[in-house]
A and B are shown apart, each in its own frame.
Chain A
């Protein structure tokens, strides 16, 4: 089966000499839910821009469902639905007109476009606003409008660039549910996000890009398995006066908070054994940070180090 997306040796140098992409290779399987992560300026949006033909590449190749963008750009475009990072619709048009016009650009007949607009506006809780100008919508509604717009031609691959940025947690979770449903229907989804929890919860495969280089490209489980150390925070009964734990890396934060680092060879039981021995009662326990976040920070740091070293050489 052809991959949904195949990128090979992709480079981009902007006017002025800034090299945003330094020869990246990436493959996304059909039906995948794929995360493309990286810090600001890493090259995520440039990559998406090239795939969707909003940015001219310097070198390399991109194929969408087997259609090379240099040889069959229009065919490649017809497979892609794009939800960009910034609002890019006509703020003065009504939601209905924005959606129906967008479908028209893909050759969808007006009658069918109106039916689809109704379907997606209802699914995304925007139906009541269908005749309002887009500028009247809240930030979360605007994000949902862009998702509806990207689906109007029923693409086989949906690319979402920071789709939940600035969206409250309740709405974010409902959007996650909607994206999961789309993926279950067979739509390949590529997602960039700053919410690493989002990538961990939704995506099966992941690539981390830093300074224009792919520093990691694997499945989510394998990536998380690389995590050597996890830090747990224990909320203790007030005035517990905890001490550092023997045989474990731990820190006393205050008289009712303790942090413990646990590596792969250690178990949580060891912590509780020691806490019991000290007669300390635990009220609650949590991860200090998202697991993917810890890996991300370490990988992005190594990516920058690799770039620095290459520059020195």
Chain B
């Protein structure tokens, strides 16, 4: 009885979340496609042709997985951060809090919504990329697993950000000052093997390096880091962030007085 109720509640949150970003598709789905097209034109065609090969592939092919992953990370995070904060701000989060919805269902519903947008945008970007480069697939399962786990990780991050946020400014601070630098320094545009030894070491503590490289392995079969380590990092992040999100919602931080 309770389990069927929870499944219906989960479907309702997912339905609401997916409907939200589909309703405003001009804001949520079109911009990543335009941005990524510009990346391909500027970094791939114009500058990339002068760079030559990287990791044994032409530069355009090398950056495609990183650019897809960048879109997935950004959209998974921002979807949950803005949606959950907006629900807090309009107080319609109370619709769920007064209902017999377990906290794990709330977390799963919002994270599922973030993953849906992240992966839909990732698919759109992949389709756009096909106009610029012949996409090859080395291991489809690595691609699917990596994109799903990365999307879940950043959706959880967006949820935690929204729980703590007190204003709309607060949900842009983490993406601007932490997420974007980590993504740009996460091996999207270069192989970390090009860096001096010291900066290679520093890059090892950037979790996005593992996500981008695992994803790139799925497409090209090359990676700067071990695949096993990449999945371990993703696993640790998901478990840690899920635990933090559950504790915060259970305690009612930012939600209950």
Residues of chain A having any CB pair with chain B under 8 Å: 14, 49, 52-56, 73-75, 77-78, 80, 82, 84, 86-92, 97, 100-110, 149, 153
Contact = CB atoms under 8 A, between A and B. Distances in A.
B6 interface: yes
Interface in B76-102: 86-87, 90-92, 94-102
A90 B86 CA distance: 9
A111 B252 CA distance: 32
B100 A106 contact: yes
A108 B8 contact: yes
Interface stretch (B11-19, B150-158, B226-234): B11-19
A149 B99 CA distance: 12
Nearest to A109: B8
A101 B95 contact: yes
B163 to A, nearest CB: 15
B9 interface: yes
11 contacts: A14-B257, A55-B257, A56-B252, A74-B2, A75-B100, A77-B99, A82-B98, A97-B16, A101-B15, A101-B95, A105-B95
Interface in B57-113: 86-87, 90-92, 94-102
Contact of B12 (A56, A84, A92, A105): A105
Contacts of A74: 2, 100, 102
Contact of A104 (B9, B19, B102): B9
Contacts of B8: 104, 107-110
Nearest to A56: B256
Contact of B99 (A86, A89, A90, A105): A105
B138 interface: no
Interface in B1-48: 2, 4-6, 8-9, 11-13, 15-16, 19, 23
Given A14-B257, A54-B97, A56-B256, A104 B11 contact: yes
A88 B2 contact: no
A41 to B, nearest CB: 14
A96 to B, nearest CB: 12
Contacts of B87: 90
A49 B257 contact: yes
Question: Can you list the 3 inter-chain pairs with the closest CB atoms, starting with the nearest?
Answer: A104-B12, A107-B5, A105-B99
A111 B73 CA distance: 35
A5 to B, nearest CB: 15
A90 B92 contact: yes
> Of A89, A106, A109, which is in contact with the most chain B CB atoms at under 10 Å from its CB?
A106
Contacts of B97: 53-54
Contacts of A87: 91
B99 A102 contact: yes
A187 to B, nearest CB: 17
A103 B11 CA distance: 12
Given A74-B2, A86-B91, A105 B101 contact: yes
B207 to A, nearest CB: 33
A88 B255 CA distance: 13
Contacts of A75: 100
A119 B157 CA distance: 40
Nearest to A77: B100
B95 A107 contact: no
A147 B78 CA distance: 33
Contacts of B2: 74
A102 B95 contact: yes
Given A101-B12, A101-B15, A89 B95 contact: yes
Nearest to A90: B92
A77 B5 CA distance: 13
A86 to B, nearest CB: 7
Interface string B208-238: 0000000000000000000000000000000
B96 A105 contact: yes
A88 B86 CA distance: 11
A42 B237 CA distance: 45
Contacts of A91: 90
A106 to B, nearest CB: 5
Contacts of A14: 257
A71 to B, nearest CB: 14
A16 to B, nearest CB: 11
Contacts of A109: 8
Contacts of A102: 95, 99
A108 B99 CA distance: 12
Contacts of B90: 88-91
Nearest to B24: A92
B89 to A, nearest CB: 11
B9 A105 contact: yes
Interface in B143-179: none
A11 B94 CA distance: 22
Nearest to A150: B98
Nearest to A20: B257
Contacts of A108: 8
Contacts of A77: 98-100
A101 B98 contact: no
B94 A106 contact: no
B98 A89 contact: no
